[in-house]
Amino acid sequence: MGRRFKYRERMMIENSMFYMNFEASSEQQEACIEKIKEAGSDDVNPIYLLKKPIIDKKADYDYKDAFVVLMPKHKMIFINFGDEDDFEEFQEDFIEDMGYISKKYDFIGIVGRPRKWQKEFVTEIQYSSEDFSFKEILRKNELTDKELIRRGDILISLATGSINEAERLGVDVPNNILDQIKRKIILFDGEQTKFIFDEPKKKRITIQGLAGTGKTELLLHKIKELYIDDDKSTIAFTCHNVILADSLKKRVPEFFNFMKVEEQIQWEKRLWVMRSWGSYGNPNSGVYSYICNHYNIPFSRFSYGNTFDSICKRALDELNQMEDFEACFDYILIDESQDFSEGFFKLCEKVTRKCVYVAGDIFQDIFKDNPSMVVNPDFLLNKCYRTDPRTLMGAHAIGMGLFENTLGLRLRWLEDDQWEACGYDIKREKGEKYIELYRKPLKRFEDIDMSKSDGVTIISSEKDKYLNTVLNTIEKIRENNPTVLPDDIGIIFMENSNDNFELASKLQLLIREKYNWKVNIGYETKEKVEAEAKTEIKPQTKEKVEAKVEKAAADTVEKITKKAVKGAGAAKTVAKAVTKTATKTVKKAAKKDIKIKAFVEYYGKQVEEKDIIARVKKAWTRSGKKVGDIKEMDLYIKPEENAVYYVINGTETGAVEFE
């Protein structure tokens, strides 16, 4: 299979916790920086070397013979290589700018004003090559008080652009596991910081990582930086499907507001958030449709055998033949790149002046049918900050079939470089039959005593007792975590059964009745329902609750009937047109000599049923599955969203756009 991650990528992984925003101006600084790297190379905490706060673009200091070392659980360490008077002014400027940033992002009430915190958090070092020991400096300037550590981490986050929400963090140190995780101060590691703030060095920049490594969040930060750096830049942010695109378009202004961006967003003039394909009637609905309209080249609709990759290649051929060609975007950012082929990336590069940023899931790439297609990323994010390492390793082991006794049941055993790309360290004794895989601890979870949590608890339940079991589990979670909110809890059905849809509907009603909580059913909508800080609970006796559970279990869910959707007025209602492939009723009703075509018409557009089915099948096979594995297909057509939601074999859900 070959070793695809070369020396550069390995060094990148090893140094992913280190970041500096300047070049050494002397040999003394170079020597000092190397000693700092060596001292912190085995630590789970990031190390930042700064000559000014990263996030403050206006900050610029004349003095170049000093820098600041920032590291969690330690004071700010100012290291000087030159004149003491100039060094003092450098310190004052840096601390003053930190005060401005903390005020801008509403952290003054938590960290205090600079004249107070600088006494607690600032230390000065005059560099001497003879007796400089950074490990000793770290030891002398270590913080031990939890409250001081927390405030120190906030100051680091402000200096490095890893802005947290002040209201979410609160003033007090949290005392239970859930709040400790939810209110943990998030700090970018070195690789994340480089991606956001460093200038691109080539036309295409690839970033790959596991789910939970912060790829989409980093893209939002990058968009913000690109947008404010140049008030004339044009930026497109795209993904594969309309649902995710709509979600991202909502997130961008929310993120800009949170980051205190003072400029208004000029939609469809400087910034576009759209899906990849788009529709002929709306050029701003997709990157491809925009390109076709902008350059006046033919637009290809979806049809069976007319793949997105093939139409992107044809469009690229058209553009390559043009004289006096000019790019229409400065930057294009692509999320979920594993959903695309090379044709789309090359088309984006063609119409981009400066850089295309491509972000995808390394795990899904590794498990492609052709693993040789895995690219060497410019930024490899293998630290999952969403899930603690124990839980993540357990999920990987189960999902990859590593506990199966039969080797044939395993998905695929990974090569060493692939394990490393997924964030694992490997220990192997020469000639040994077994290898040891482990993940390094992460700062987000290192201070949390996970011994108080079982991690995974298995509860046996009869099928007719599911609802009671789930409600009892929610109640236990609430007892152990008084501040738990509805969006802290997820319920996933694992069985291959259509009964899950009925159970989900019943649970939604019961949870709403018992706790007055809003419940989001994932296959109906992907929109997150914000939880209220305080939820009024309706008091009920155990007997009443159990009675309602039993009544709900006895009810039957209303059957979805097949509806023909026709006319522009259909867009005003939720059209649930359910199509089951190869159903007996259709076969019996239709004579062999009758050809039937079913169309959905909306807003002057028309799409045929077979094209919808073809798109769903393509989405199904893209994940490595076979069309022959499909036994049942339910399609829910929503013209107002330009989307078709599907359920395959009663369990596999998703959505595709249609033209």
So what's the pLDDT on residue 369? 52
Which tokens in the block code for residue 352? Answer: 């981009």
The answer to whether the beta carbons of residues 106 and 176 sit under 8 Å apart is no
Which tokens in the block code for residue 35? Answer: 């000693």
Other CB atoms within 10 Å distance of the CB of residue 329: 22
So what's the pLDDT on residue 528? 55
Q: Span 249-254, mean pLDDT?
A: 94
Q: Any idea which of 306-315, 344-353, 639-648 has the lowest mean pLDDT?
A: 639-648
Q: Which residues pair with 637 in a beta bridge?
A: 644
Other CB atoms within 10 Å distance of the CB of residue 363: 21
Which tokens in the block code for residue 225? Answer: 């930086």
CA distances 276 to 286, 290, 406, 527, Å, are 5, 10, 41, 20
Q: How far apart are CA 435 and CA 432, in angstroms?
A: 7
Q: How far apart are CA 262 and CA 178, in angstroms?
A: 34
* φ, ψ (nearest 5 deg) of residue 7: -60, -40
Task: Name the percent of the chain lying above pLDDT 90.
Answer: 36
Q: Which residues pair with 635 in a beta bridge?
A: 646
Helix 287-295, helix 342-350: angle, nearest 10: 40
The one-letter amino acid code at 425 reads D
Q: Any idea which of 127-131, 158-162, 580-584 has the lowest mean pLDDT?
A: 580-584
Q: Span 448-452, mean pLDDT?
A: 60
Which tokens in the block code for residue 137? Answer: 């400096």
pLDDT tens sequence across 93-110: 999 999 999 999 999 999
The DSSP code for 584 is H
The answer to whether the beta carbons of residues 208 and 360 sit under 8 Å apart is yes
Q: Span 413-438, mean pLDDT?
A: 78
Q: How far apart are CA 236 and CA 274, in angstroms?
A: 8
pLDDT tens sequence across 195-226: 999 999 899 999 988 887 888 999 999 999 99
So what's the pLDDT on residue 473? 92
So what's the pLDDT on residue 487? 83
More confident residue, 622 or 335: 335
pLDDT tens sequence across 505-524: 888 889 988 888 888 887 66
pLDDT tens sequence across 136-152: 999 999 999 988 998 99
- Tokens 């298995």 belong to 458
**Average pLDDT for the chain:** 79
So what's the pLDDT on residue 10? 39
402: burial class by Cβ within 10 Å (0-12, 13-18, 19+)?
Answer: middle
Q: How far apart are CA 185 and CA 103, in angstroms?
A: 17
pLDDT tens sequence across 280-326: 889 999 999 999 999 999 999 877 677 889 999 999 999 999 999 99
Is the pLDDT assigned to residue 559 strictly greater than 50?
Answer: no
What is the pairing mode between strands 122-126 and 76-80? parallel
The DSSP code for 582 is T
DSSP element (H, E) containing 204: strand 204-209
CA distances 299 to 244, 255, 277, 279, Å, are 23, 33, 10, 9
